[in-house]
Amino acid sequence: MEELELIYGAISRFWKNILSFLAICCIAGAVPVSNDGKNSVIVNDQYQFEWSVSGEDIYFTVTAQTTGFVALGVLPETGMEDEDVCIVGIYPDGTVYINDYHAHEPSIPHLDVEEGGTEDWLLVDVSETETATTATFYRKLVTADPLNDQPILPGVARLVWSYGEADPTDFDNIILQRETTGVVEVVLVEP
C-alpha cells in the first residue's frame, strides 16, 4: 500500500510539473528555460526574467528592451487586485531608483510605504545599455508586511510583468500600460 502511495505521489508531481509548464506556455505565451541552474521565463522578445531561491529570499533578474523602468510583481491566487510590485530603473543622470508598490486595482500601483507598508524589495544591481535595462532585486518569500505584500509559496505563482518606455516622473501616479504589461503563471518555489 505504501509503495502505491509513493508511486501515485511521483506521478502526481510529474503531471503537476507538466501542467505548470503548459500553463506558462499557453496562458502567457511565455517560454520557460533553464540556464545554469537558474529558472527563466522569456515572456516575449521584449521582456524576460529569471529567479532563484536562497534560504528565505527569492532573487529576480529582469531584462527588458527599454531605457525606462522594469517591473515585476506578485499577484494573489485569483484576481488582479492587491498586486505587490517592484519598479526599478535608472534616470538619465545615473540616479538609480527602486520602489515597492501595492495596487488595490489592476495596473494602478501606489507606493507601499504611503499605505502603511514597508519597502520589502531590495536592489542588488541595475544597468542600462542604449536599448535595454537589466535589474536584479530580491525580497523575502514571506515578508513582514502581510497588509500589502503577497506571500510567495510553493506551487504555481501568478506574476505581473511590465516595462515602461520612460522613467517615471511622479512615483505616485504610475500606470502600467496594457501594451507592455502581462501576467504569467510559474512555479517559483517547488512544492
pTM: 0.77
3 state SS of 30: coil
What is the structure's pLDDT at 41? 94
What is the structure's pLDDT at 14? 37
What is the structure's pLDDT at 174? 63
Domain containing residue 183: CATH number: 2.60.40.1210
What is the structure's pLDDT at 34? 41
How many domains does the chain divide into? Answer: 1
Helices (H), the chain: 2-28
Segment 97-116, tens digit of pLDDT: 999 988 776 657 778 788 78
What is the structure's pLDDT at 25? 38
Query: Which amino acid type is present at position 92?
Result: P
Pick out the chain residues at pLDDT < 70: 1-37, 78-81, 105-107, 171-176, 178
Domain with 38, as residue range(s), is 2-189
What does each C-alpha distance from 107 to 11, 15, 35, 148, 155 come to in angstroms? 38, 33, 30, 15, 24
Which DSSP state fits 165?
S
Query: Which amino acid type is present at position 116?
Result: G
Q: 31-52: string of b/e by CB count within 10 Å (b at 16+)?
A: ebeeeeeebbbbbeeebbbbbe
